[in-house]
Chain A
Amino acid sequence: MLKLRVIPCLDVKDGRVVKGVNFVALRDAGDPVEQASVYDSAGADELTFLDITASHENRDTILDVVSRTAARVFLPLTVGGGIRTTEDMRRLLLAGADKCSINSAAIARPDFINEAARKFGSQCVVVAVDARATGNGTWEIFTHGGRRGTGIDAITWCAEAAARGAGEILLTSMDRDGTGQGFDIPLLRAATGAVTIPVIASGGVGTLDHFVEGARAGATGLLAASVFHFGQFTIAAVKAALAGAGLPVRPIPSPRPSLRAPRSNPSPGTANGNRAR
């Protein structure tokens, strides 16, 4: 049986993790590769990097991050943020990303979805939809981190993105994002009812029950950022809650000692370095 996907999202700015938690035994909490590696062994089912680098000159820092991550972590990796062209996508895929999450550029020019799907296959085209409730039972797409309205109906857009070749929808409630009040369940139900491709729920989880509610509303991927980074929940705790509610999850993989990668010795001086404080 197919399992729900629990997906930590890391915000990366200029090649560094924003709001990264200082996990025990992490030598550099700001290094996205170290964070990704921790989530890898903790049982994450996929990883997402959201590149929030503002300056154009530093945009290529994400390529190095992706490349170093893909060399260590054998999990599906999605990268979003600032992707405007199929050439941007190609460079990320060559660096080792598996999927690209596109947002504003797809809204500005919907044919971008068709082009991306034709060129790389639907499986690597994630359309990110940032939605805000209008107050009369519908939702509107917002861009620019939720600041700019577009007048476009979010559910209609989800269906159009799917028809144009998106492989999945990453649906974020801008009303709930960062509130800890849980996913916007009516939004999620409307979107999962409107498309037959997978929908990843994002924005608002604050309790373990919220993950369960998201899955029951039809999401097959559950994405969260701060509850993982700040150590509020482990991936294992989320999976235990889902399993406890009778929902299908992949067990946390147990390391197989004989097959572990050879470990490099820590360099002198790190033993008392940036360990947990």
Chain B
Amino acid sequence: MNLAVIDYGSGNLASAARGLELAASRLGIGARIAITDEPDAVARADRIVLPGQGAFADCARGLAAKPGLRDAMLSRVENGAPFLGICVGMQLMAARGLEHEITQGFGWIEGDIAPIAADGLRLPHMGWNELSFTPGAHPLLEGIEPGDHAYFVHSYALASNTKDVIATTDYGTQIVAMVASGNRAGTQFHVEKSQEVGLTILANFLRWTPQ
């Protein structure tokens, strides 16, 4: 299996790649995991992971900066390659980001990435928080339980979308923690920093056959 971790100058890509390597070795899957910004490599990938840290607009710009990269990724995913977005990588799946300025996302799921309305609570929402979901709701959630903790760092979150949400967390208000739509999924939390819970989700992603 060829797996592309998209490199567009954002964040801690090494941890995502190492998490995927460990998950693959546990599953006994021979996976070639490449951290890449080459459109050709992305176009050939069997699965695509898009990490992301920082501001929505910066990430969107970074992805568009490398000629052909964004288009190669969108077209490969639209042709069926399973996709996992992490943190801002998940946020980019939405229609629009409202951080600093209005920025277009991929439009794969409805809704905007809007400021967290956590009255009186500190932002960023930073640390371990519990996941709420209906057991069996999605193959990516297999092997984890409602109440398991994941590591979040963000000040913006997906708003105005209920149909693609598969897990939430509570920070003064219900915050979208995971989304899935067809062959595309995303985690607002850092799977690569969430110990066993994160590694389990990465392993689930590697063996996920979207219906």
Q: Which residues of A are interface residues toward B (Cβ below 8 A)?
A: 1-5, 40, 45, 67, 70-71, 74-76, 93-98, 118, 120-124, 167-168, 196-198, 220-221, 250-251, 253, 255-256, 259, 261-262
Contact = CB atoms under 8 A, between A and B. Distances in A.
Contacts of B198: 74
Which of A1, A95, A121, A167 has the largest count of B CB atoms less than 10 A from its CB? A121
A253 B54 contact: no
B131 to A, nearest CB: 12
A259 B200 contact: yes
Shortest 10 CB-CB contacts between residues of A and residues of B: A121-B54, A123-B153, A250-B128, A3-B128, A96-B14, A250-B149, A2-B129, A76-B193, A121-B53, A5-B127
A5 B153 CA distance: 13
Contact of A74 (B15, B122, B126, B149): B15
Contacts of B149: 3, 250-251, 253
A123 B154 CA distance: 7
Contacts of B14: 67, 70, 94-96
A45 B128 CA distance: 7
A190 to B, nearest CB: 16
A2 B128 contact: yes
Nearest to B203: A259
B163 to A, nearest CB: 26
Nearest to B59: A121
11 contacts: A2-B127, A2-B128, A70-B12, A74-B22, A120-B11, A124-B53, A167-B124, A167-B126, A198-B127, A220-B122, A253-B149
Contacts of A221: 127
Nearest to A4: B127
Contacts of A96: 12, 14-15, 18
A196 B155 CA distance: 12
B13 to A, nearest CB: 8
B127 A3 contact: yes
B127 A220 contact: yes
Interface in B163-200: 170-171, 190, 192-200
A253 B196 contact: yes
A40 B198 CA distance: 14
Nearest to B118: A2
B151 interface: yes
Contact of A93 (B12, B19, B25): B12
Contacts of A93: 11-12
Contacts of A198: 122, 124, 126-127
Contacts of A259: 26, 143, 196, 199-200, 203
B144 to A, nearest CB: 10
Nearest to A93: B12
A74 B192 contact: yes
Contacts of B190: 76, 98
Given A2-B126, A123-B126, 10 more contacts: A74-B19, A74-B193, A74-B194, A75-B193, A98-B193, A123-B53, A197-B124, A253-B197, A256-B200, A259-B203
Contacts of A118: 58
Nearest to B202: A74
A8 B160 CA distance: 39
A250 B54 CA distance: 26
Contacts of B102: none
Contacts of A71: 18
Contacts of A261: 22, 25-26
